[in-house]
């Protein structure tokens, strides 16, 4: 499927079930390299990115077997020290295998991930952590090599609470000798899920979810089985879709705690939200008021929901200010939304969004997965027909978006 055709749809109504978290399962699959036993992962999302990570850890020497939404990963004795360039190039998250290989094998050679549409996305903080743990780092020809007879625990300060750097260093530290402290660590729920997984394998990680994580190295990690957390960004995407179409949608299989920032912002915008055990009901029938949004590391408002919020605020009443503080170039969706009639002005990292009465359907291009989602959402409320091309970006991060939206009344194919 290379495009999605979206027509103006009635207010969404019905039930949407959320899948397992992409950004939790990817580091957890990388962490399986550390285990000398068998790992069983349950509720994994069937996504392109998960497939690429499966291929990556398989190429490194792990046996990987799928069974429905379960994944069985078995360690072997021939873990390789090199990650295949063509896989790392395709997906930045493959870089998360670096810490586990370094820690398990004492040496690793991996391609530097390229930039992407939302920014240069360097890995300097990952490498700063590995050298703090005693690794020698060499870069050249687009590759980075790290080696250490055995990593030894140390204190690492992250200049920015990078999610990937926190995960890579935490994983490397689990088999290092002694204690590692990561200061100014990222606090995302996916970090906590990874830490829980590592501890289930016998690691000693405390403090995940706070800005200071302490890891005491152990000799070996064994197998375990683990169910990944629900995808809070997928949930937030459909909460926004329900709100902006004035619909009433029940979203199931969520961790309410992980949704606090989006619940707060939608409530501020006039959306009626009812919270039950592990489901949330979104009622947008009162319309949407303008709100200001500033993206920040967790528990601030997630950058991964900024494009979707911008679509909603494009048709809200009044003027909203959106400030993107996490990535230096995450406004790629703005020119596409403007082609649909949105009134948005960019000033550096800020966007001034003036709500308009309605958008008009157009042919638009998905530049990354969240920008693609924001264009589909805009198409739900735009007059006429919207064609979103290059939807392969969307399929990387959303399980069956078309089906899930269709089942709540969206006109999408």
Q: Is residue 306 a contact partner of residue 344, using CB atoms and an 8 Å limit?
A: no
Residue 164 touching ligand EPZ (CB under 6 A): yes
Task: Tell me if 341 contacts ligand EPZ by CB under 6 A.
Answer: no
Catalytic residue status for 81: no
Residue count at the site for ligand EPZ (CB under 6 A)?
Answer: 25
177 binds ligand EPZ, rule: CB under 6 A? no
Q: Which is nearer to ligand EPZ, 198 or 362 (CB)?
A: 198
Instruction: Give me 312's structure tokens.
Output: 């909603």
DSSP annotation of 305 reads G
Helices (H), 201-274: 232-244, 260-268
- Only segment of 157-165, 192-200, 352-360, 405-413 that touches ligand EPZ (CB under 6 A): 157-165
Based on the shown chain and the rule CB under 6 A, indicate whether residue 191 belongs to the binding site for ligand EPZ: no
Contact 103, 175 (CB under 8 A): yes
Distance between CA atoms of residues 244 and 122, nearest Å? 35
**Least distance CB 176 / ligand EPZ (angstroms):** 19
Q: Is residue 156 a contact partner of residue 135, using CB atoms and an 8 Å limit?
A: no
* 25, 291, 326, 364: residue in contact with ligand EPZ (rule CB under 6 A): 326
Nearer to ligand EPZ, 23 or 32 (CB): 23
To the nearest whole angstrom, how small is the minimum distance from the Cβ of residue 327 to ligand EPZ? Answer: 5
Binding flag, residue 163, ligand EPZ (CB under 6 A): yes
Q: What is the DSSP string of 2-44?
A: -EEEEE--PPPEEEEE--B-HHHHHHHHHHGGGBSSEEEEES-
Nearer to ligand EPZ, 34 or 326 (CB): 326
Q: Which is nearer to ligand EPZ, 341 or 372 (CB)?
A: 372
- DSSP E strands, 43-106: 63-67, 70-74
Q: Does 320 bind ligand EPZ (CB under 6 A)?
A: no
For ligand EPZ, the closer CB: 254 or 359: 254
Q: Out of 160, 206, 222, 345, name the contact with ligand EPZ by CB under 6 A.
A: 160
The answer to whether residues 146 and 176 touch, using CB atoms and an 8 Å cutoff, is: no
Choose the binding region for ligand EPZ from 40-48, 122-130, 208-216, 402-410 (rule: CB under 6 A). Answer: 122-130
Helix (H, G, I), strand (E, B) or coil at 363: strand
CA distance 163 to 303: 12
Q: Least distance from C-beta 26 to ligand EPZ, angstroms? A: 5
Site for ligand EPZ in 8-37 (CB under 6 A): 22-23, 26
Closest to ligand EPZ by CB, 23 vs 314, is: 23
Is residue 183 near ligand EPZ by the rule CB under 6 A?
Answer: no
Take residue 67 and report the two structure tokens written for it.
């069974």
Residue 178 interacts with ligand EPZ (CB under 6 A)? no
Buried b (16+ CB within 10 A) or exposed e, 270-279: bbebeeeeeb
Q: Which of 214, 370, 393, 402 binds ligand EPZ (CB under 6 A)?
A: 370
Question: Cα 126 to the chain's mean position, in Å?
Answer: 18
From 5, 79, 116, 256, active-site residue: 116
Tokens standing for residue 48: 């392109």
Residues 272 and 245: their CA atoms lie apart, in Å, by 13
Q: Which of 23, 60, 29, 21 is nearest to 171 (CA)?
A: 29
Closer by beta carbon to ligand EPZ, 18 or else 288? 18
Of 73 and 125, which CB lies nearer to ligand EPZ in the complex structure? 125
Residue the block writes with tokens 């911008």: 310
Assess 214 for contact with ligand EPZ (CB under 6 A). no
Give how far Cα 168 sits from Cα of 129, 223, 341, Å. 8, 19, 42
Q: Of 118-126, 270-278, 355-363, 380-388, which part binds ligand EPZ (CB under 6 A)?
A: 118-126
Q: Check binding of 182 to ligand EPZ (CB under 6 A).
A: no
By CB under 6 A, is residue 369 in contact with ligand EPZ?
yes
Find out whether 333 and 303 touch, Cβ atoms under 8 Å: no
Return d(Cα 224, Cα 31) in angstroms, integer.
Answer: 12
* Out of 104, 126, 258, 402, the residue judged to bind ligand EPZ by CB under 6 A: 126
Q: Which residues are catalytic?
A: 116
Give the interface with ligand EPZ as residue ranges (CB under 6 A). 22-23, 26, 92-93, 119, 121-126, 160, 162-165, 186, 303-304, 326-327, 369-370, 397
């Amino acid at each position: 499927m290379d495009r999605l055709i979206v027509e103006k749809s009635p207010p969404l109504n019905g039930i949407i079930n959320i899948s397992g978290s992409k950004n939790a399962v990817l580091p957890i699959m990388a962490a399986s390299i550390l285990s000398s036993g068998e790992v069983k992962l349950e509720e994994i999302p069937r996504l392109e990115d998960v497939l690429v990570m499966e291929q990556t850890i398989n190429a490194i020497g792990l046996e990987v077997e799928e069974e429905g939404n379960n994944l069985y990963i078995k360690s072997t004795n021939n873990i390789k020290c090199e990650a295949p360039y063509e896989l790392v190039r395709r997906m930045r998250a493959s870089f998360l295998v670096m810490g586990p290989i370094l820690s398990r094998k004492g040496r690793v050679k991996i391609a530097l991930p390229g930039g992407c549409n939302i920014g240069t996305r360097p890995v300097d903080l990952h490498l700063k952590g590995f050298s703090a743990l005693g690794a020698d780092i060499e870069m050249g020809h687009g590759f980075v090599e790290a080696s250490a007879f055995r990593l030894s625990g140390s204190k690492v300060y992250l200049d920015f609470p990078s999610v990937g750097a926190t995960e890579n260093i935490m994983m490397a530290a689990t088999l290092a000798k002694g204690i590692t402290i990561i200061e100014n660590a990222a606090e995302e729920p996916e970090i906590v899920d990874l830490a829980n997984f590592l501890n289930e394998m016998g690691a000693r990680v405390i403090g995940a979810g706070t800005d200071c994580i302490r890891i005491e190295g152990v000799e070996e990690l064994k197998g375990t089985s683990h169910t990944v957390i629900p995808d809070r960004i997928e949930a937030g995407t459909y909460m926004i879709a329900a709100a902006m179409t004035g619909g009433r949608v029940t979203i199931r299989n969520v961790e309410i705690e992980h949704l606090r920032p989006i619940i707060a912002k939608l409530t501020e915008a006039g959306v009626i939200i009812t919270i039950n055990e592990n489901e949330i009901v979104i009622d947008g029938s009162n319309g949407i008021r303008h709100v200001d949004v500033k993206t920040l590391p967790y528990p601030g408002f997630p950058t991964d929901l900024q494009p979707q919020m911008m679509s909603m605020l494009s048709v809200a009443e009044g003027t909203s200010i959106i400030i993107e503080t996490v990535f230096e170039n995450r406004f790629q969706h703005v020119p596409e939304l403007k082609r649909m009639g949105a009134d948005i002005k960019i000033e550096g990292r800020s966007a001034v969004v003036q709500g308009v009465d309605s958008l008009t359907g157009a042919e638009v291009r998905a530049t990354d997965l969240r920008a693609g989602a924001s264009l589909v959402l805009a198409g739900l409320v735009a007059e006429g027909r919207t064609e979103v091309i290059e939807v392969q970006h969307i399929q990387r991060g959303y399980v069956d978006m078309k089906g899930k939206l269709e089942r709540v009344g969206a006109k999408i194919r």
